[in-house]
């Protein structure tokens, strides 16, 4: 489980890189379920946890909101993040 995600925050731009995928946002508070850092996505205006593969906010409830309507259930799918192979 330890090696599945390589998460880095860029110093020169407001992006987080997860397994080589660049995501607009920043590393945020700990996930309440697994205690790993969550990531805030500018695009979806929501926090998510790659370890749990969940969004930490429900959708905004506005049925006309295209961002929520197009937000996949899985953040890994939303950002096309592929898990790294575990070693050992």
Site of interaction with Zn ion (CB under 5 A): 31, 33-34, 49, 51-52, 60, 65, 67-68
Smallest distance, Zn ion to C-beta of residue 9, A: 17
In the complex, the smallest distance separating the C-beta of residue 35 from Zn ion, rounded to whole angstroms, is 7
Q: Residue 69: phi, psi to the nearest 5?
A: -60, -30
Of the two residues 10 and 65, which places its CB atom closer to Zn ion in the complex?
Answer: 65
Q: How far apart are CA 57 and CA 75, in angstroms?
A: 12
CB of 12 to Zn ion, least distance (A): 27
Q: Give long-range contacts, CB 8 A cutoff, 24+ apart: 57-66.
A: none
């Amino acid at each position: 489980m330890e090696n599945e995600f390589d998460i880095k925050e860029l110093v020169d731009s407001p992006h987080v890189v997860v397994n080589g995928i660049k995501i607009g946002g920043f590393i945020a508070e700990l996930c309440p379920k697994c205690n790993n850092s969550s990531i805030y996505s500018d695009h979806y205006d929501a926090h998510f946890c790659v370890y749990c593969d969940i969004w930490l906010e429900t959708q905004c409830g506005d049925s006309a909101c295209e961002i929520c309507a197009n937000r996949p259930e899985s953040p890994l799918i939303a950002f096309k993040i592929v898990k790294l192979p575990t070693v050992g």
